[in-house]
Structure 1
């Protein structure tokens, strides 16, 4: 019973530790062997460290990042022995507002972005002393190639350069107290020796591992009488007294081969098992570092959050405004520099939002303010920091956008599901319909000044330049490559976007990024719009268009209504005291604490204190359980001895 209680406490404490400020994360630090970074610990962890760092910059809502997470976890697990002394695998969530400035500082244009930092990295160097690694490369090989090129190595690191001396005693010059050395003789282009050095780096105090090749050390290879056709070969050298060291072939000796060694294993695993056996037989007493308690059961991976209630007949203004907030204050501001076509695309996008966003008066005014500020720029470029300041300066008592992102209809069963991408699709659909509503309000709608591409082209440009899930952005461009051929009639943009969205839903229906609580279906469903179907599975486009124009209309949006007017300092600038009510379908109830525009600071402090309390309780309980277990074992042994 105590074990289950401890497991419950551990899960809850890990959930709270995903990110220091409680934002969602794709990773659990201890379980996934990945160090979680944020703006509070990044610089002190990475810069000046004796370890190299391999960091993924990601966003928890990004579908490509969610798919990539399994691979990043695999890399972290595969290189786990490398972490303690040589290179740490880490991740930082750029969708967390606390990391906006940091991700912009590193010019993170797309997710996921991988950066590798050398030991003793310096912040003030170009690119902050880091290098971007292509996520599609063999990451383990890339890590090794990068480490091999580092000239100044920390003292505790393995020596990656090839061993060139013909004297075996030179192996122990770097560590005279080491009892054994392993010398791997391999082909010139092999990385097996370096893999072994890294795999057993934590045993470097007692076991030295070096590598050499026929080209770099022909005299020693001749002296050892190496059969070059049997490479790779490992020799074991004992640090005996005198310069003549005792050595023997490690590869062929049966005493080093585990009884259960599978002949189907690749070379790396074969040698790992042999070296592990040697360490256990000869070094484990000297270097007892493996007494770890496994607490987390793999079966607790998928503990689902409680399902959110969704009113699928309505569009949520909460979702639409949250989409604007993430987009304007986070995604766009992550750009280091906005210039050229990128800045031009931003101006077009903001103008489109200012004209067609079907929101509250204050939000519309806010978008118009941004549009005015952009068009009045006296320069051809601005930085991401300047853009972020511009979004703040556009806030007034009559013009504001809440700096808070909460989801209603787009809330997923877990924080990494749905959210921003869902709300963005919703925004796109409402904009195409809003354009039609805007035209219908004219005395002479759809005249020569009307362009069916007016909304869709800015959408496409936004996704191209500012939707930072690179894979998603590329897919959207591919899905819409024929948009010019399909946008001819006034309502074509509404139907075309609907078709594109359904194609994407079909492609991702069984994808791991899909929320199991909200399956991706062909929209609208028969339940939602029976008339949209022709008695079969095929859509009736005429009826579907009617549905889309109604469903995404401004009349079908659950509005946010101000509960009461506050003074100018609290509206749009400091909205800590501002509350909203939801209208629609007879609803008129106060939104709970989680939907406030800005969370109460005392609540945040209390939440943080609560998390620390539970962590303290967890460790106390673990300690008590271990003491109890040891006492119980001791009591059992004593009784057995007496009997």
Structure 2
């Protein structure tokens, strides 16, 4: 019986551990990087102790990103590849990331002056906060392509350049410099006698082997290898000699090796100390890429040479590398394709009700849901504005205009009075000190105080970044916050048109506010830059009352076509990308549907019936016709039983909250817990748990019969 009890306990324990693991995996789904990647994920509590730890001579490369940012998603595989490529540089460089879309990281991102996503900063080793010389390097300032090779070389240049700064730098910086025999320390390394060799190497308990990479001054091979193998520097000192240092090379190599030097091919040699007292090097590896790969490109030859040198060193120092925790050989990893953002998704975590509603339900699939707009507004106000930090008078004016159009053109009081109250109180508090703010701007702490006093925390917990409806993440073209921005401003332009039409006023405030907000506050810097280009001639494009609504519709289609063209792997037919599609509104087109996108035709070749398009946009985006949170709950309740609810944990319809959204039930949590266990599975677990209790009681009774007799007396 005791054995049975032990087995039952073991089973329950295993189930608990499995459930905890599943919840952990579920929590990772919302991030661009997982524990399986070589990117160190930092947050508000770990950032400062990690990056500013004074006992480490490590340079940190930190990407500040936003999970909703499409360009961050596109860049994620590149950053993973970079982290994988340099993962054995950990004694010198480490790759990290901070997700600025998470509320817990807002202050960290704001304090580091993150103005767009993705942003990459390179922090010096042993930095001190608030010291000008310890300011991180913004990778954008280098004007380079954000490829793995370019970023890797930028990191090498940064570490090598630490010597030229008025600061303490780690020993590896010295090793990256070409050997200079005019310097005493380098001279003693090369020309010390056999007896004093051990003391002459350096003050780091001199290495047993002294090797040199001979290369051109533009080559990065030697510096990359020094960064890679510096972790075994007690056994190996690896240094660089430039091919142009002919006198030095002539004195160190045999006459034959020196005469065979190819001015464009690197070599690796070891400095030996033979009995005759000579100081001649033994050539260990030659590049020879031109001879072996005569038809290959320069980049392919460089990869071949690097792999050849690394293969030798990994074989030569296999014991030392293993003891130092060196990872598996990286030869050939340049072609490794890391998992993309979409590939990490867990299909079991989808909200099946919402997916059915937007893709299959005859009513819901043709509606726009106010819940997504409320989520977007919440994120704008409580996150993007907050993360901006100090606001200039111009930025403050943009926020005031934004609050005005939200209040004027959206029925927020009907959708959610609490959101309406937040908008009104924010505007009131900003107006109270308007004269001061218009001169000095608003400090970051003042913005945080205004948000707190206006009730932002309550709204933020209600409208989280989960369970989007129209912007559900089952569709890569309609995903999350950026999707909600398009819906928001479509609704605002339509609302503005409907209010302006009776009085024949040309409405423009919504589009100009949208332009100002996106260019000044939108985290995706590439998106903001592209949108700014689209709005260069905005004023000249708004001639009629309906121009704002139609201009935004047209611009949105241009953006959709461009994004589709930038994704050749997942590229869809043009008829499926433009909006509305021919299936959705056939009368909106003058061009026959079969001709759309054929024979190289693009969006600009399509002829439209603009009156029908305008009518379609108004019917779809008119604020009074959007599905409210209450109506969403009713729609979801009507489709119960049409989807497999065994994959969904919890019931979103039991909430007594007046304003229901898919995640209101769980407003106090960061994310909604979902399990792969069905109701029957949970019933079995409960039965086993109760059975274990009964078994434990029975065991106690059997092992302690005196207790039974004492009770019977």
Q: TM-score range by the shorter chain?
A: 0.7 to 0.9
CA contact (8 A) 2:41 2:98 kept: yes
Partner residue, 1:67: 74
Give the unaligned 5+ runs of structure 1.
1-8, 562-579, 611-643
Deviation at 1:372, TM superposition (A): 1.9
Please point out which of 124, 136, 143 is paired with 2:144. Answer: 136
Alignment of 1:134-173 (within 5 A): 134=140, 136-137=144-145, 138-151=150-163, 152-154=168-170, 159-165=175-181, 166=187, 167-169=190-192, 172-173=201-202
Answer with 340-349 or 586-595: which moved more: 586-595
TM-superposed deviation, 1:174: 4.8
- Alignment pair present for 1:89 and 2:88: no
How much does 1:351 deviate? 1.6
1:436 to 497, 510, 513: 497
Query: Which of 91, 103, 112 is the matching residue for 2:109?
Result: 103
What are the within-5 Å matches in structure 2 for residues 116-515 of structure 1?
Answer: 116-126=122-132, 129-134=135-140, 136-137=144-145, 138-151=150-163, 152-154=168-170, 159-165=175-181, 166=187, 167-169=190-192, 172-176=201-205, 178-213=207-242, 218-219=247-248, 221-224=250-253, 226=258, 230=263, 232-238=266-272, 245=279, 247-252=281-286, 264=296, 266=300, 268-288=302-322, 289=325, 302=343, 304=345, 305=347, 306=350, 308-309=355-356, 310=358, 311-361=364-414, 362=417, 363-377=419-433, 378-379=436-437, 380=439, 381-395=441-455, 402=462, 404-406=464-466, 407-413=468-474, 418-439=479-500, 445-447=502-504, 450-512=505-567
Q: Please, which moves more after superposition, 498-507 or 264-273?
A: 264-273
Change (3 A) 1:183 1:257: same
- 584-593 or 354-363, which moves further after superposition? 584-593
2:491 and 2:278 map into 1 onto residues whose CA distance is: 81
CA contact under 8 A between 2:65 and 2:117: conserved in structure 1? yes
Deviation at 1:188, TM superposition (A): 3.6
Deviation at residue 72 of structure 1 after TM alignment? 1.7
* Unaligned 5+ runs, structure 2: 1-16, 182-186, 331-335, 359-363, 594-606, 641-650, 656-660, 678-713
User: What is the rounded CA distance, in whole Å, between the counterparts of 1:558 and 1:518 in structure 2?
Assistant: 30
Look up the SS of the partner of 1:182 in the other structure: strand
Q: 1:37 deviation in Å?
A: 1.4
Paired residues for 1:12-51 under 5 Å = 16=24, 22=28, 24-30=30-36, 32-48=37-53, 49-51=56-58
Distance 1:17 1:492, change over 3 A: same
Change (3 A) 1:516 1:329: farther
Aligned counterparts of 2:461 and 2:39: Cα–Cα separation in 1: 36
1:150 alignment partner, SS class: helix
TM-superposed CA distance for 1:180, in Å, is 2.0
Pick closer, same or farther for the CA change 1:431–1:187 going to 2, 3 Å. same
**Distance (Å, rounded) in 1 between the aligned partners of 2:569 and 2:112:** 30
Deviations 1:49-75 (A, max 9, x none): 331110111111112212222322232
The more displaced of 311-320 and 188-197 is 188-197
**CA displacement 1:340-369 (0-9 Å, x = unmatched):** 322222222222222112323412332122
Residues of 2 paired with 1:27 and 1:400: CA distance?
Answer: 24
1:490-521 CA deviation, whole Å, 9 max, x = no partner? 11111111111111111112444998999962
C-alpha distance in 2 between matches for 1:583 and 1:341: 43
Normalising by structure 2, what TM-score? 0.70
SS at match of 1:40: coil
Contact residue 184 and residue 209 of structure 1 kept, 8 A: yes
Seen in structure 2, the aligned counterparts of structure 1 residues 121 and 421 have a Cα distance that, compared at 3 Å, is same
Report if the CA contact (8 A) 2:106-2:387 is conserved: yes
How far off is 1:78 after superposition?
Answer: 2.6
CA gap of 1:186–1:483, structure 2 versus 1, over 3 A, is same
The whole-number CA distance in structure 2 between the counterparts of 1:398 and 1:271 is 59
Find the aligned partners of 2:173 and 2:482 in 1 and give their Cα distance: 43
Q: In structure 2, what is the Cα distance between the partners aligned to 1:535 and 1:471? A: 33
What is the total number of aligned residue pairs between the two structures?
Answer: 569
Q: Deviation of residue 472 (structure 1)? A: 0.7
> Alignment RMSD, CA only?
4.2
**CA deviation profile, 1:397-443 (whole Å, cap 9, x unmatched):** 99999453331111112899710011110000000111123336xxx
Change (3 A) 1:549 1:600: closer
Would you tell me which structure has more helix in proportion to its own residues?
A: 2
* Correspondence for 2:610: 541
* Contact 2:272/2:280 (<8 A) preserved: yes
Q: 1:294-320 CA deviation, whole Å, 9 max, x = no partner?
A: 9x9978972543472313311111101
Asked if the contact 1:581/1:588 (under 8 Å) is kept, the reply is no
Aligned in 2, Cα 1:180/1:54: closer, same or farther, shift over 3 Å?
A: same
User: How many angstroms apart in 1 are the aligned matches of 2:225 and 2:339?
Assistant: 31
- Kindly name which structure, 1 or 2, has the bigger radius of gyration based on alpha carbons: 2
Moved more, 268-277 or 371-380: 268-277
SS of 1:323's partner is: helix
Match of 2:604 in 1: none
Structure 2 SS opposite 1:89: strand
Identify the residue that residue 87 of structure 2 maps to in structure 1.
80
Residues 422, 513 of structure 1: CA spacing in aligned structure 2 closer, same or farther, 3 A cutoff?
A: farther
Look up the SS of the partner of 1:101 in the other structure: helix
Inter-CA distance 233–150: structure 2 relative to 1 (3 Å threshold): same
